[in-house]
Amino acid sequence: MTTSEAERSAMRRALSLAATPGVPLGPNPRVGCVLLAPDGTTIAEGFHRGAGTPHAEAAALAEAGAAARGATAVVSLEPCNHTGRTGPCSEALIAAGVVRVVFAQPDANPVAVGGAARLREAGVEVVGGEMIDEAQALNRVWSFSVAHRRPFVTWKFATTLDGRSAAADGTSRWVSSRAARIDTHRLRGLCDTMLVGTHTVEVDDPELTVRDEHDQPVAVQPLRAVMGLRDLPPGRRVFNDRAETVHLRTRDPEDALARLHALDRQHVFLEGGPSLAGAFLAAGLVDEVVTYVAPMLLGAGASAVADLGITTITDAVHLDVSDVTVLHGHDGEDTNVRLTMRPQLRRN
């Protein structure tokens, strides 16, 4: 079944609506909806603004009112078929008299799936898969989390050209440039959880908040998670009131992710030290790697990752590079190179 140019244009608009800035990241997917009249003109638009708010279809139907009868709904995600904080979008579309639904990405959530089948059962014409790649890219973390029942893990670290994260005396502040640190905060803001180990909290005392280019905290902060068995001093900055913090009393990466998944967390930004990174890598639980490489050599000092038990080149962890960006230094600072990569093999 084919789609019209008006429907394809509406899907592009639906995806744009879904990506509206300011929408909370998770636990729900980002969705946009456009209602078209029989002549292809737009009747109404809507997008999901976060958990507990009307879904994109419901928002568009509310704007359209009676004009929705006989319309085509173009949606970036298959309409849901379950009752949660809001009712099923499939039933809302049927009740409004929508005669055709075009959607991009099938709903991967086993709780919500079945909307397309319910619509067809009610006599609504349904077309799926229009601009599916763009829709999946928009909700890549949500889709991964639903499919794997754990959060997507991005491991970020800064390193010198020879793989050192700190000098022999422990100093590490200037391994990354200010431009790289600002970029790191941007990436932190795309995640819903910051994860470090107890050793990092004890030694570095990080605050683990997201700050803007003026070093001011942003309004919405990710969850701060500390992984490890040891008790921690309450005076550590990670326990201040600038963001919520949980202590995951486990050394098992899989267990830690399961606990975060139970808290509706979908994207973990792993910023711990080399031991924590090594544990996640060894468990096959790193899904993306972001590294900032500084053009300097130390020759000694802490390694970016702990011993992985690899003794021969054939067992090396290989990564596919998806992006290389040069971050130019300012005021005499070194230029850093940001590499974004995905491990080629995932064991879990």
188 is in an annotated binding site: yes
29 is in an annotated binding site: no
275 is in an annotated binding site: yes
204 is in an annotated binding site: yes
100 is in an annotated binding site: no
33 is in an annotated binding site: no
Selection from 47, 41, 92, 51 nearest residue 71 by Cα: 41
77 is in an annotated binding site: no
174 is in an annotated binding site: yes
Catalytic residue among 45, 57, 78, 130: 57
278 is in an annotated binding site: yes
322 is in an annotated binding site: no
Tokens at residue 195, please?
Answer: 């994860």
Residue 333 known to be catalytic: no
158 is in an annotated binding site: yes
55 is in an annotated binding site: yes
277 is in an annotated binding site: yes
Question: Known binding site: residues?
Answer: 55, 80, 89, 158, 172, 174, 188, 200, 204, 208, 211, 271, 273-279
Residues labelled as active-site residues: 57
Question: Known binding site for substrate: residues?
Answer: 172, 188, 208, 211, 271
Question: Known binding site for Zn(2+): residues?
Answer: 55, 80, 89
Question: Known binding site for NADP(+): residues?
Answer: 158, 174, 200, 204, 273-279
